[in-house]
Amino acid sequence: MTLESETTAVLETLPRGPGMIITRASDAHHHTGRKQRGSDAEGFELHPAIVRGMKKIYEGGNSGGAMAVTLFSSPTMHVSYVWFKSGYPLPIHSHDVDCFYQIFAGSMRVGNDVLEKGDGVMIPGGVPYTVTPGDEGVEFFEFRTGEDYDTHYRAKSDTYWDRVAATHAERKPIWAEEKAPYGLFD
């Protein structure tokens, strides 16, 4: 008997739980935009600088500076693959659930810390943050404590949003040629 056949035989004698869920890369899907929670409430209004800034970014078309795909989602967990290309300006924001980033290629700065392959960061829900990808960009898995999460952009300055939009425009041709350091989904 081989180890594999013995393992199979033992597993067949054990009670089965609710079951494992297998995910396949071919089933992953790109994140889709969604409205901020509460945006349908009477009187809800995004800060005008955020609205103008997001409009400027999207007027230039897809810059190709970031990619995020959902790998798994359940009521208690959301897992994504994320690739930010070099210099991608992730606007300052927060989410309403905790998240953990596990880097497996490239690097990024979070606050004053540079995180590299094998490093991770836990970001509690409600805490504003941004990341700055290194020269190779950064690829990481993102784990969240719920199947859905909300994004709240925090910068309320037209100058800030103008710089984000300008970086998208300036780096678009660079990002078009850039390859992911590990290349899980590129």
pLDDT in tens, 15-69: 776 777 778 888 887 876 666 777 778 888 888 898 888 888 888 778 899 999 9
Count Cβ neighbours within 10 Å for each residue of 128-137 and write b for 16 or more, e otherwise.
ebebbbbebb
Q: How far apart are CA 106 and CA 149, in angstroms?
A: 26
Q: Which CATH class for the 46-177 domain?
A: mainly beta
> pLDDT tens-digit profile of 111-127?
999 999 999 999 999 99
DSSP-assigned beta bridge partners for residue 30: 69
Q: How far apart are CA 110 and CA 17, in angstroms?
A: 39
DSSP-assigned beta bridge partners for residue 29: 70
3-state secondary structure 98-109: CEEEEEEEEEEE
Q: Indicate the pTM of the whole model.
A: 0.85
Q: Which residue's structure tokens are 């994140």?
A: 31
Q: Which token pair is 117? A: 């392959």
Domain ranges within the chain, ordered by starting residue: 46-177
